[in-house]
Chains A and B, each alone.
Chain A
């Protein structure tokens, strides 16, 4: 299972990078979204994957029965997803406004502030 997800993370990063290197700003946004999902999955997997073992303490004990899934990466991923969602929304709004202002979605039209 970990191996499969590791491959999936790799694929997400690769496609995301490919999209980032395209010249359209919409594909730029898609690339950022894909890479951020890849990173979320990476963090999620790094805690180890265990199916059906929640970290719940039984009513008569003080610690959950081992082995149990580590809840911290899930909490971290949740935070990261929320942050990523907000930033993506902002990025989409920014891209729309920038498209209206520049009048082109080709990256080459965005060179006025460089040199």
Chain B
């Protein structure tokens, strides 16, 4: 990809082909993992816990599959939005490195290796977010870069402390060693460092400020893939840490995570309600939805974890889709500030439909996918009688619906404001169909998950059962045979 930078056609074809190939392979991985429970590779044939293990359980596999799905869909969308200048600055190679880093983070079974994958992902995302060189992009990019660097440094410090105490970096081996050490003091300190670090990346309550300050600045293609994937890697890492490594101290951390989850939901949705620009509203909704997922972790029951995994899949698809739609609004109207656009229902009724589906799925209207995710989460909360969290979850659901209705009423229903001259973007990069097709595919998959969600939900339940039984993971990793090729 780097070699052919003079041929933009080669860049385009290669980018989409690689992303699609990843998606197909990831589906195969899901199939294999569902048959075999675990797929473990010891890199370089060094036996665990000495070498680096790559581990896929059901949770990892489904995350890889859905993120590769987004990778393929957004790559097609990029054909329609990313201009030649960005393509010449290696947009597609960086984009593929980003997907590579995300998938690596989902699959690694080694703590330090996870740090390295985070860095791979971050370096690519740093360049992607500040690539355009506009004032807003540089400013948002600077905030994004500095806070994510700090989070990585804290992760490194936490990993160092854990290594100093356990003498291992293999997550399964760390879990085994920690379950045998009763001294909880230093475990808690290092687990808090990791909580802050992953929390910063996931955008949970006190650490989310970089997210709405930066996600609306780059082109929609870039914000869509960031919104879909990057924060979810933080959520994934939190799940991995607290269902595997820090199981012994989880009862002490649980109240803290519960409070953080509720505050994340509430502050995120209030932030969204106060904004009037489509992409800023959507950025704040990421924060609020992250709260729901962390809530599943805080409940820590089989149903709650299954609901959280289902929620992750639903959220990645829907949120990516909404950001892509906002990019189409920009293309048609030159802006996505709700005060400046309007009348889209008349001028582009099909776009209204494409917005309607993910937006009301996000709000939790049956029979779309968001309804089942929220329903399962609330039911899990009722089962363990966590009334405040359930109340907050329902209230946030209503407010989410409110701000989706706001976008609907302002951008689609209202007449185009007479004093604002809204023109389609001049010199669009590629054909509009490239943008419509992925959005339509994602919308259809939202409906499919809503109507025929049973296989996905039972898969989530099996994945949750695996998460709740870390012993299986540990023995799968530590006892896997090293195959030496002849």
Report which A residues bind B (CB closer than 8 A): 20, 25, 28, 32, 35-36, 38-40, 42-48, 70, 72-73, 76, 79-80, 83, 86-87, 90-91, 94-95, 97-98, 101-102, 110, 112-114
Contact yes or no, B153 A35, CB < 8 A: yes
User: Chain B nearest CB: distance from A19 CB in Å?
Assistant: 12
Per-position binary interface string of chain B over residues 124-141, scored 1 when its CB falls under 8 Å from any chain A CB and 0 otherwise: 001100100111101111
Of A43, A91, A94, A97, the contact of B159 (CB 8 Å cutoff): A43
Asked if A73 and B163 sit within 8 Å, CB to CB, the answer is: yes
Known: A80-B156, A90-B127, A94-B126. 11 other contacts (CB 8 A): A36-B156, A42-B157, A46-B163, A72-B163, A87-B122, A87-B123, A91-B145, A91-B146, A94-B142, A97-B130, A110-B142
Give CA–CA (A97, B140) in the complex, Å. 12
User: Which B residues are CB-close (under 8 A) to A112?
Assistant: 135-136, 139
Q: Among the listed A35, A73, A86, A97, which residue makes an inter-chain contact with B160, where contact means beta carbons less than 8 Å apart?
A: A73
Contact A113 B216 (CB under 8 A): yes
Question: Nearest-CB distance from A53 to chain B (Å)?
Answer: 17
Which residues from chain A contact B167 at a C-beta distance below 8 Å? 70
21 of the cross-chain contacts (CB-CB < 8 Å) are A32-B149, A32-B153, A35-B150, A42-B157, A43-B157, A45-B164, A46-B161, A46-B164, A76-B112, A79-B112, A80-B156, A87-B123, A87-B149, A94-B126, A94-B141, A94-B145, A97-B130, A102-B138, A110-B142, A112-B135, A113-B143
> Which residues does chain A contribute within 8 Å of B141, judged by CB atoms?
94, 98
Query: Cβ of B142 and Cβ of A95 under 8 Å apart?
Result: yes
Report the 3 A-B pairs with minimum CB-CB distance, sorted nearest first: A46-B164, A43-B160, A98-B138
Number of A-B contacts (CB under 8 A): 104
Most buried by B among A44, A48, A112: A112
The reply on B116 being an interface residue by CB < 8 A is yes
Contacts of A101 in B (CB 8 A): 133-135, 138-139
Query: At the interface, yes or no: B83 with Cβ under 8 Å from chain A?
Result: no
Which chain B positions have C-beta within 8 A of A47? 163-164
Closest to B130 in A: A94
- Nearest A residue to B136 via CB reads A113
A46 to B161, CA, bound (A): 6
With CB as the reference atom, state the residue of chain B lying closest to A95: B142
A residues less than 8 Å from B164 (CB atoms): 45-48
Bound Cα distance A61, B302 (Å): 52
Given contacts A42-B160, A43-B157, A47-B163, contact A90 B139 (CB under 8 A): no
Are B146's CB and A32's CB within 8 A?
Answer: yes
Assess A39 versus B156: contact at CB under 8 Å? Given A86-B123, A114-B213.
yes
Which chain A residues border B213 with CB–CB below 8 Å? 113-114
Give A41 to B235 CA distance when docked, in angstroms. 28
- B133, B138, B154: which has the most chain A beta carbons within 10 Å? B138
Please give the number of chain B residues whose Cβ is less than 8 angstroms from any Cβ of chain A in the complex. Answer: 39
User: Within the assembled complex, what's the spacing in Å between the Cα atoms of A2 and B269?
Assistant: 47
Residues of B within 8 A of A20 (CB): 150
Given contact pairs A72-B163, A110-B143, A113-B143, A94 touches B156 in the complex (Cβ within 8 A): no
With the chains together, A35 CA to B193 CA distance in Å?
Answer: 14
Q: Of all chain A residues, which has the CB nearest B214?
A: A113
Whether a CB of chain A sits under 8 angstroms from the CB of B335 is no
Residues of B within 8 A of A72 (CB): 163, 169
- Considering the chains assembled together, what is the distance between the CA atoms of A79 and B139 in angstroms? 29
**Separation in Å of the B10 CB from the closest CB of chain A?**
26
Which residues of the partner chain B approach A86 to less than 8 Å between Cβ atoms?
A: 123
B139 lies within 8 A of A102 (CB): yes
Docked Cα-Cα span, A16 to B119, in Å, equals 21
Alpha-carbon separation in the docked complex, A45 to B82 (Å): 46
Does chain A have a CB within 8 A of B217? yes
**Measured CA separation A13–B164 after assembly (Å):** 19
CB proximity of A84 to chain B, nearest CB, Å? 8
Partner pick for A36 among B133, B139, B149, B216, CB 8 A cutoff:
B149
Contacts of A94 in B (CB 8 A): 126, 130, 138, 141-142, 145
Q: Which of A36, A70, A98 has the most CB of B within 10 A?
A: A98
Residues of A within 8 A of B126 (CB): 87, 90, 94
Question: A39 and B146 in contact (CB under 8 A), knowing A90-B126, A113-B213?
Answer: no
